[in-house]
Amino acid sequence: MKAYNVCVVGIGAVGAEMVRLLRRRKFPVKSLTILARSERTETIDGETYPVKVAAPEAFDGVDFAFFAGTEGAKGASQTLGWEAVKRGAVVIDNGDDFRMDPRVPLVIPEINPEALRGHQGLIANPNCSTIMALLPLAPLHKAARIQRIVAATYQAVSGTGAPAIRELEEQARAWVAGRPVEHKVYPHQILFNLLPSIGSVKDDSGETTEEIKMRNETRKILGDDAIRVCATCVRVPVFNGHSEALNVEFERPLGPDEARALLAGTPGVIVADDMQRNLYPMPMDCSGRYEVLVGRIRRDASVKNGLALFVAGDNIWKGAALNAVQIAEVLIA
């Protein structure tokens, strides 16, 4: 098997998981380079890696460049992404700078791998919440055509990056010790709290950038600009694993049993739906899993042809690092 020169740009929460997953999935790595803002060493699972400064010449000879930018640490692909492409690398970008760029495929390998055909060297990872929603919704859309989605997300702090994970842990330790609970990463305390604001408000719609991403990315990935999407994105005091409540309106009737049957055979999806046994998707169960869990599948009687469901997935794995590695695996295949 051919081996490839690989680099990971950024070594926070997502970058570290990219390194782990490349090893775990036995990606054919010839050499691995880690790039960041400053030169240093990083230890991942007991192995020490040298970190070099991200600069244009660092991409010479690189086959795959994974840009690990998250909400809290992004921008590298803006300055270096196309430069890496010019030097021969295929760039897979976890940031949001190029997702809606018409030159750039926005890919979930289980849903639209055909979008990779004829790519121009830069491929975008969708937003974590979009990935979680669309893995179960894509087969339902194919069967009954989605007209409208109302989504409420429950997003873990790992989506913001390593500093937010530390902040939640420090707040929990402070509360147990009876010390004042301080916050820096978020505008309010996240411990025992919910923050219904992820991203920023760019216009007078009142929507945040995270909510706008869900609508625009859903349309691009499913290839249907007529789908109406209303999302409310909420940060919750969970370390890892995003969850979402989805209410979906279809063009034709689609019952819960038919939906379960479709989802049971969907790659990347596990049906966890048995209320009698208290079986439903939870962040604790999805963290560290490749698949997205879906459950609470039931009729939504408030609209014609409505269905309600609940999903949970590992936002750092399938929502970011894993999806990026899978894109590279599809390209190799």
66: left (phi over 0), alpha (psi -120 to 50) or beta: beta
Q: What residues are paired with 90 via a beta bridge?
A: 64
Mapped onto helix, strand or coil, the DSSP state of residue 160 is: coil
CB 269 within 8 A of CB 260: no
86 CB neighbour count, 10 Å cutoff: 11
Q: HSE, CB side, 13 Å, CA atoms: give it for residue 88.
A: 10
CA dihedral 16, 326, 314, 110 (to 10 degrees): 170
Q: Of the residues 141, 233, 242, 286, which is catalytic?
A: 242
Q: What residues are paired with 208 via a beta bridge?
A: 201
Reply yes or no on whether 242 is catalytic. Answer: yes
Q: What angle do CA 46, 285, 107 make, to 5 degrees?
A: 80
Reply yes or no on whether 233 is catalytic. Answer: no
Instruction: In whole angstroms, give the CA distance from residue 241 to residue 208.
Output: 21
For the chain, the residue count is: 333
Instruction: In whole angstroms, give the CA distance from residue 146 to residue 279.
Output: 26
Q: Of the residues 7, 128, 233, 286, which is catalytic?
A: 128
Please give the biggest Cα pair distance in the chain.
Answer: 59
Instruction: In whole angstroms, give the CA distance from residue 263 to residue 76.
Output: 37
CB 224 within 8 A of CB 113: no
Pairing of β 4-9 and β 64-67: parallel
Active site residues: 128, 242
